[in-house]
Amino acid sequence: MTVGASDQSLHQMTLAELGDGLRAGDFSALELTTALLDRIAAHGEALNAFITVTADEAMRAAEAADAARSNGNAGPLNGLPVVHKDLFCTAGVKTSCGSRMLDNFVSPYDATVVAKLRQAGAVSLGKTNMDEFAMGSSNETSYYGPVKNPWDHEYSPGGSSGGSAAAVAARLVPGATGTDTGGSIRQPASLTGTVGLKPTYGRVSRYGMVAFASSLDQAGVITRSAADAALLLGVMAGFDERDSTSVDHPVPDYVVGLDQPLEGLRVGIVRQHFDEGLEEQCGARVREALALLEEQGASLVEVDLPNLDLSVPTYYVVAPAECSSNLSRFDGVRFGHRASDPDDLLDLYCRSRGEGFGDEVQRRVMTGTYVLSAGYYDAYYLKAQKVRQLISQDFKNAFASVDVIAGPTAPTPAFRLGEKTDDPITMYLNDIYTIGANLAGLPGISVPCGFSADLPVGLQLVGPHFAEQTILRCAHQYQTLTDWHCRCPEAYQ
């Protein structure tokens, strides 16, 4: 089935607009799904944003959504299309984590995030490309090759959720799931001109989400607007007894209150966010956004995060330590890649892991194993955890006087593919403004706030624990005054 020319504008509509259209009967879920699958077929290969496209399953889900609406049983996301980052287990579908290690793994069950969206009526179109096991900031560590930035195919879309961000930016799908361990939702959102929301740690279940660093990983969403992010989070959030890190905290209606004005909102400005590492035009766009918030009644308050400069080295001790433990299960014995004709059990382990894991994953596993080893645990891992508490306390102190903290999401716009692959330290520094929120378990959102050299720039808003409503309201109010989030790459209009 191919939709007519009058339906081609469907790809430019937000989730909220599509929901209104489905309820009004302007088009069916089947027509919408077909239109987007056609776009994925036309543009997916050039972007390399997908690892798996589940066209048949999507068509069946769309037919079921239309039937449910006809019967009066439509869920809150009935017929709305989404895609999942390829580390969310999805029953009957390959879940590869962007790695050769899991290239042959088909999940026997759904992650809680996948199940909740499915139960709400969402239609999954497939699984998106990503940095291998979510380790990377450019989507270049994927076994399936790099994702291209829709604004310029020679540039990176960021990572590790680069496939989800590119798919949303190119209007292949209106919403996508992602995960954020050190900025892996917010940084690609900034580099692609999309909205990326990382909720409070424990707000969204991690059950069925393949772990990278368990105390840092958090599921979130990438969308076109803050209102769409609020819509998806309302379905995804909530306590899950199968996840020991899930927090039993009431889930509000995130959409309600988005239209409340910013009058009286206290916005913290961190001195360390505007240092010499920030690209000039990125800084200018963020300052313009802050001035606009101030014009709408928000007050700008300078705050200090004295230990923020230590966030990157702290993260790159804690995260590799946890990944070395989490990835020890991939040994070639029970599932995943297995080396052929091993000489003995040790050879099976060594070659399966050596062949199955890419360079960046091996680098982090080795680093993590080292910092956890006898004689170095106290000097590195234990000290990093102490500094992590200092960073968390800095945020707590700052939020005593402000409601949100605002600043740049990334220090530069998108960089060229291959530009930083030979220098891991430079690549790691691309997350310098986002890592702090993960170490402290805080919610954060990135929204488009302009361009630098024709490439998008993101404004980051971070709130106290469980203050998703506040940062979503601030982001939404900013988007009612600007149209940066409506800009679409010329090739994908």
- Residue among 85, 116, 127, 198 flagged as catalytic: 85
CA distance 442 to 308: 14
Terminal-to-terminal C-alpha distance of the chain = 22
Tell me the three state secondary structure of residue 75.
Answer: coil
Report which DSSP code applies to 301.
E
Strand 455-462 to strand 404-408: parallel, antiparallel, or no bridges (unpaired)? antiparallel
Decide: 139 and 188 in contact? Cβ < 8 Å. yes
CB 138 within 8 A of CB 158: yes
**Catalytic residue at 94?**
no
**Among residues 99, 107, 160, 324, which one is catalytic?**
160
Catalytic member of 28, 184, 190, 205: 184
What is the rounded CA–CA span in Å between residue 92 and residue 205?
20
Sheet with 175-180: list strands edge to edge: 50-53, 123-128, 81-85, 175-180, 218-223, 195-198, 444-452, 455-462, 404-408, 266-270, 299-303
Tell me the β-bridge partners of 445: 197, 461
Place of tokens 């980051």: 460
Residue recorded with tokens 């989030």: 485
- Give me the sign of the Cα torsion angle 426, 431, 436, 441: negative
The CB-side HSE value for 135 (13 A sphere, CA atoms) comes to: 30
**Beta strand pairing status for 218-223 and 175-180?**
antiparallel
Pseudo-torsion of CA 483, 489, 491, 493, nearest 10°?
-30
CA dihedral 389, 393, 399, 404 (to 10 degrees): -30
The residues assigned a catalytic role are: 85, 160, 184
